[in-house]
Chain A
Amino acid sequence: MEPFISLGKISKTFYGVKALDNINLTLLPGEVHCLAGQNGCGKSTLIKIISGVYKPDPGFEIAIEGKPYAHLSPIDSVKAGIQVIYQDLSLFPNLTVAENIGIHQHHHNLLVNKREIRRIAGLTMKSIDARLDLDANVDSLPIAQRQIVAICRALAQEARLIIMDEPTASLTMQEVKGLLRVIGDLKKRNICVVFVSHRLDEVLEISDRISVLKNGSLIGTYPASDINNKKLAFLMTGKEFSYAVLPPIEKIGEVALKVSSLTKHQQYKDISFQLHQGEILAITGLLGAGRTELCLSLFGLTKPDSGEILLEGKAVHFASNRDAVKAGIGYVSEDRMSTGLVMDQSINDNIISTVLSRLKTPFRLLDRAKSDRIVSDLIEQLSIKIGSVDLPVNTLSGGNAQRVAIAKWLAINPKVLILDSPTVGVDIANKAGIYQIISALSRKGIAVLMITDEIDEAFFNSHRILVMRKGEIVAELLPEKTSEAALAEVVNG
């Protein structure tokens, strides 16, 4: 088959540093091609070369459908049918679905033809069997539907190659399935889809071929059928990862958190469990199972209708999350970027944000010495790799940012630490690091409640697993007495 695009001898040097080194890659029509690699491996640089944003170092060869390009500009790239869907989707939240999909029409015409835009949007949506309200504003849609809008927009511009950067990072498992179905449709239409993802299992499920990048070099391109989760992780990182369940806790600690018959209308019902000191309890389940809603109540952000929460044997009633923090509950939110961290603020300020009231000098000013001590201790404890504590958090990779998010809550010396999807958007090597941190915390006696929708995450990294479905706990499993497959079956019901 003639490749849609073939790239030869692609290198890219930034200020003397080789970001890409002699990459040779072909992308075929109708294939789903995954670009795998850790943060900083050169994936984004390669994408920017394909979309014409960066010009590779001299000596490169780029041909699209057999036609060589001595220079590929962003406009050439779009004209050739190359569309990138960035992780942030780049939609216009204030405009309607139809206008977002047909936005390129504004380029060609002086006046707006609303009917034509609606027609194009409707047709495009129908072609991938999507049903969204054309007149809804994009900001009223959930992320998964916005993604559909972004895909439709790419299609409306006659895309032949769609590059999706981390399309599943903020989707639930159920939504990922929907997306994978759409990608299957695109494939049938002979469109090439390049997929960048950290979630290895879905990479393997969807891809035809996988290209692995490491430190700017192409390790190789493999048919997905020749590769498994373990091998891919090895190719990406050069490290073997052990896949073993956590050893059972040697001696069970006191009960740190006890929840009995906790109920909130339409969110969760009759939830009872105990969480011990030093234990990692995973709560898993599908979208809408009520996991996050339950956590929000445990953290005092919403009020349960009935039932009881006991912290170290004492009943607590949180009027707000302030009370929860005071009582010693930390909550690492699943949305690091918007609710977990203040991305523009420094690492230092993020970490001490939870303990400002304890860092006062007698004159009620900030006790710098004490704060520096806390920050440097935590950075060492969590081995966060940073240049300076004064850099903003948005300069960090996903893995390091997540460590900062955890550090912020460790600063309060929590009795109970709630981790909501702790490895969202974190690549494989860093995932292992985060799991090590979690397990080290539990060994220090912190009671950890880990919410996750990744079955392997729950299975390999907890002492006990609760499965929720439609707001209720439907099963309690011990990893050493069950299998990953059995757990998946319970979760999917």
Chain B
Amino acid sequence: MVKKIGVKTHELFLGLTIILIGGYLSYASADFLTLGNLYDLINNYAMLTILACGLFIVLISGGIDISFPAMTIISQYVMVTLIQGTSGNFALAFALSGGLGLLLGLVNATLVNRLKVPSIIITISTLNIFYGLLLYLTKGVWLYSYPAWFEEGVMLFKFTAADGYDYGLSLPIITLLVVVSLTGFIMNKTSIGRMIYAMGGNREAASRMGFGIFKMQLFVYGYMGLMSGVAGVVQSATVLTVAPDSLLGYELTVLAAVVLGGTSIVGGRGTLLGTLLGVVLLAVIQNGLNLTGVSSYWHTVVTGVVIVTSISMTAWSQRKGEGAVA
């Protein structure tokens, strides 16, 4: 009971913090609470959210995967190379990028399962291997050219707002909505999702129950790979460039968002809602620092402080709760 309330407390706390900071920002900066800013914010943080969804599932299962920036880059690099000159559409882009990401994820799962080495070590290694191979094979060359259909992008329900700009459901937003719904559905409504929670809570018990641990690992790391591929398409569509080293160090940003959302790094605990709130909080803070003109050197410091504060507040309120019960 306590833990359950704890999780909810955490989400409530995140929500309040977001409202508080948002409130301050809309007072401090005229640009914050504008349609344009919020719209850009969602578009720009779609990739982070998609990756966070994948990492959320891996963490719940009791593992960790930090090789996803490499998978994201490789998948989109290959995808962009292959679609040159085609008259395809985004389904093709997603299939190529997602498929390759999935494949790389399955490699992670197989290594984690067969080598019986902690997943953090495996994925640090594969992060380096994937990156290294990509840099070697591409010689670090950036890609700029895209087919016309890709550059055009997607925009559903397009309208022009009073500020003169066009808004609508862009590719990042559509992808974001699909991924979030899919992740929520898997983790809450399907048996495999609940089994992933169970495995993260007590792996030994899961294996005694006869759960196929390897199958579940294939699913979890495969899903992370798939999300990396999908995020790759979104990144490409947003910046229309593939820079092999553009996501260096990005794994910690995503990990920060998921952990900020209350997901335990030892597995079993956390909610998708928390993860999303973690991403939102991170986004709002970074956006706020930009808008209020704080030197970019401070951004990482502030992010770090917010994570420590938030996590310790939750731990503290949980301990207090337990004390009251005992």
Contacts and interface: CB of A to CB of B under 8 A. Distances in A.
B33 interface: no
B1 interface: yes
B3 A137 contact: yes
Contact of B3 (A88, A94, A133): A94
B213 to A, nearest CB: 14
B191 A92 contact: no
B191 A91 contact: no
B202 A92 contact: yes
A103 interface: yes
Interface string B261-292: 00000001100000000000000000000000
B205 A112 contact: no
Interface residues of A, number: 28
B40 to A, nearest CB: 37
Q: Specify the main secondary structure of chain B where it touches its partner.
A: helix
A357 interface: no
Given A94-B201, A107-B210, A140 B1 contact: yes
A262 to B, nearest CB: 20
Contacts of A90: 202, 204-205, 208-209
Given A111-B190, A136-B1, A86 B268 contact: no
Interface in B191-225: 191-195, 197-198, 200-202, 204-206, 208-211
B3 A139 contact: yes
Contacts of B211: 107
A112 B3 contact: no
A94 B1 contact: no
Contacts of A105: 191
A93 B268 contact: yes
Contacts of B189: 111-112
A99 B4 CA distance: 14
A105 B325 CA distance: 32
B2 interface: yes
A93 B4 CA distance: 11
Given A106-B194, A140-B3, A93 B201 contact: yes
A133 B1 contact: yes
Contacts of B205: 90-92
Interface residues of B, number: 27
B261 to A, nearest CB: 16
Interface in A57-107: 74-75, 78, 86, 88, 90-96, 99, 103-107
A94 B200 contact: yes
B188 interface: yes
A492 interface: no
A329 B83 CA distance: 75
A313 B175 CA distance: 75
A99 B209 CA distance: 13
A12 B195 CA distance: 34
A388 interface: no
A104 B211 CA distance: 9
A244 interface: no
Contacts of A112: 188-191, 193-194
B1 A92 contact: no
A92 B201 contact: yes
B210 A91 contact: no
Contacts of B194: 95, 99, 106, 112
Nearest to B325: A140
A104 B205 CA distance: 12
Q: Most A CB atoms within 10 A — which of B4, B202, B204, B206?
A: B202
A139 B208 CA distance: 19
Nearest to A96: B4
B190 A75 contact: no
A78 B204 CA distance: 17
B291 to A, nearest CB: 39
Interface string B298-326: 00000000000000000000000000010
Nearest to A93: B201
Q: Most B CB atoms within 10 A — which of A74, A90, A104?
A: A90
Interface of B: 1-4, 188-195, 197-198, 200-202, 204-206, 208-211, 268-269, 325
Given A78-B210, A94-B197, A140-B4, 20 more contacts: A75-B210, A90-B205, A92-B201, A92-B268, A94-B3, A94-B201, A94-B269, A95-B194, A96-B4, A99-B198, A106-B198, A109-B191, A110-B190, A110-B191, A112-B191, A112-B193, A112-B194, A136-B1, A137-B3, A140-B3
